[in-house]
């Protein structure tokens, strides 16, 4: 974590991540793709995600979440910054000469060798099937279905813990403290995602948030009644409703949105702990 001198009100509490571990090189040109800024608009041209737009221009890095280079050793060429995700990424060159980006785990070093195999040494960066990973190991970039590619535990500083193995399933403790079963044939990477200090970063000023493509978020209570269910009234008034609602009249804040009859419910043994705020 990097702290700055309080030369202004915005910089007084501002913090930055430690980028000293990054390699000083330009991104791999063959793995860059231009991505148009949608401004929160969907295919129909209407805003589907509010308060998005502008921001700095950036190129998308093609990340290999599945890591299909089975049994082909690779060498870490560099650890780089990715503007589209919270953690760092690593450029890996495999024995056949191909280069790919992967999610960089914490404490991964340049020139370190990694491998993707059904059975391999339990070291940071290696990718192994869940059924062959010892109990107590921290993992990330986990598949939900075999050959699907990593789907969960991909944000900065996150990691899941293996609790036990039971027949064809492996019991995991997720970063949210939820306990669920995943097929042992699924792959996962050893370690936790890099940049664990990400959750302690303080933006500090509005301009830094705008540079990330976030526009000011307006409270519903200061809108007019025609714009939001919470709007209207004289002065600072309450929402006037029994429960908070979205601008489209649907329940918000704490309402469960997961389908009750979802087939994966049987794989979740303990739900995540929800912190209630009063």
Integer Cα distance of 169 and 162 in angstroms: 11
Which pair of tokens denotes residue 159? Answer: 């990691």
The model's pLDDT over 161-207, given as tens digits with 9 standing for 90+, comes to 999 999 899 999 999 999 999 999 999 999 999 999 999 999 999 99
The model's pLDDT over 33-56, given as tens digits with 9 standing for 90+, comes to 999 889 999 999 999 999 999 899
Return the H-helix or E-strand segment holding 245.
none
Burial 215-246 (b: 16+ CB within 10 A, else e): eeeeebbeeeeeebbbbeeeeeeebeeeeebe
State residue 273's pLDDT score. 76
Domains and CATH numbers, the chain: 23-47+56-196 (2.30.30.30)
State residue 185's pLDDT score. 95
Strand order in the sheet with 127-129: 127-129, 187-190, 138-140, 160-166, 169-173, 179-183, 268-270
Three-state DSSP at 173 gives: strand
Q: In a 10 Å sphere around its CB, with 0-12 CB exposed, 13-18 middle and 19+ buried, how is residue 62 labelled?
A: exposed
State residue 67's pLDDT score. 81
State residue 156's pLDDT score. 97
CB atoms within 10 A of CB 41: 14
CB atoms within 10 A of CB 126: 19
Integer Cα distance of 90 and 11 in angstroms: 30
- Mean pLDDT, rounded, of the chain: 93
Integer Cα distance of 229 and 221 in angstroms: 8
- CA triplet 101, 104, 108: central angle to 5 degrees? 120
Q: In a 10 Å sphere around its CB, with 0-12 CB exposed, 13-18 middle and 19+ buried, how is residue 76 labelled?
A: buried
The model's pLDDT over 118-171, given as tens digits with 9 standing for 90+, comes to 999 999 999 999 999 999 999 999 999 999 999 999 999 999 999 999 989 999
Integer Cα distance of 92 and 100 in angstroms: 5
For residue 99, what are the β-bridge partners? 93
- Non-local CB neighbours of 195 within 8 Å, separated by 6+ positions: 17, 86, 87, 88, 106, 156, 157
Confidence of residue 275 (pLDDT cuts 50, 70, 90): low
Confidence of residue 277 (pLDDT cuts 50, 70, 90): low
The model's pLDDT over 200-253, given as tens digits with 9 standing for 90+, comes to 999 999 999 999 999 999 999 999 999 999 999 998 988 888 899 999 999 998
Integer Cα distance of 246 and 20 in angstroms: 42
* Beta-strand relationship, 160-166 and 138-140: antiparallel
């Amino acid at each position: 974590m990097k702290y700055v001198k309080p030369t202004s009100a915005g910089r007084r509490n501002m913090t930055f991540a430690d980028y000293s571990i990054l390699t000083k090189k330009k991104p791999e040109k063959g793995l860059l793709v231009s991505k148009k800024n949608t401004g929160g608009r969907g295919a129909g041209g209407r805003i589907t995600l509010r308060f998005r737009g502008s921001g700095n221009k950036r190129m998308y890095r093609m990340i290999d979440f599945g890591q299909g280079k089975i049994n082909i050793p690779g060498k870490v060429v560099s650890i780089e910054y990715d503007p589209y995700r919270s953690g760092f990424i690593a450029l890996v060159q495999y024995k056949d000469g191909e280069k790919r980006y992967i999610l960089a785990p914490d404490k991964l070093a340049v020139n370190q060798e990694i491998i993707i195999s059904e059975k391999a040494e339990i070291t940071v960066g290696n990718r192994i099937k869940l059924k062959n990973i010892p109990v107590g190991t921290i993992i990330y970039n986990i598949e939900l279905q075999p050959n699907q590619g990593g789907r969960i535990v991909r944000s900065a500083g996150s990691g899941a813990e293996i609790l036990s193995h039971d027949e064809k399933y492996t019991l995991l403790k997720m970063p949210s403290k939820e306990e669920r079963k995943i097929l042992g044939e699924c792959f996962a990477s050893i370690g936790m995602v890099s940049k664990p200090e990400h959750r302690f970063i303080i933006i500090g000023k509005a301009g830094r948030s705008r540079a990330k493509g976030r526009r000011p978020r307006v409270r519903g209570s200061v809108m007019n009644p025609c714009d939001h269910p919470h709007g209207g009234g004289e002065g600072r008034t309450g929402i006037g409703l029994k429960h908070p609602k979205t601008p489209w009249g649907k329940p918000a804040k704490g309402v469960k949105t997961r389908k009750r009859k979802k087939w994966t419910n049987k794989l979740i043994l303990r739900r995540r702990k929800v912190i209630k705020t009063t």
